[in-house]
Amino acid sequence: MDCVLCKSQLIHGEVNHIVDTESQIVIIKNVPAMICHQCGEYYLDNETAIKIEKLVDELLKNKTEITIANYTEIAA
């Protein structure tokens, strides 16, 4: 698979996924992804994306301004 932005090759790695709402910021560390080695754009597989969506929904219930979670500890 190639990057849709720059057409460069993707490599397996981990990223910090950031969700910024109007009132809260959620940072999820160590998320497995395919990362473009040229431009840095990253892509999540369907299973990971669904886990991230559910995780963010739960973390937003905390009503904290900034929440930081580790994907490898929560999604296991």
Interval 6-53: pLDDT, tens? 999 999 999 999 999 999 999 999 999 999 999 999 999 999 999 999
Query: Binning pLDDT at 50, 70 and 90, where does residue 74 land?
Result: confident
Q: For residue 39, is it within any domain?
A: no
pTM over 0.85: yes
| C-beta of residue 28 within 8 angstroms of C-beta of residue 21 | no
pLDDT at position 25 is: 97
CA 76/CA 57 separation, integer angstroms:
17
| C-beta of residue 40 within 8 angstroms of C-beta of residue 11 | no
Q: For residue 10, is it within any domain?
A: no
Q: For residue 38, is it within any domain?
A: no
Q: For residue 40, is it within any domain?
A: no
Q: For residue 3, is it within any domain?
A: no
Domain of residue 59: give its range: 15-31+45-74
pLDDT at position 16 is: 98
Q: For residue 25, is it within any domain?
A: yes
The number of domains in the chain is: 1
Q: For residue 63, is it within any domain?
A: yes
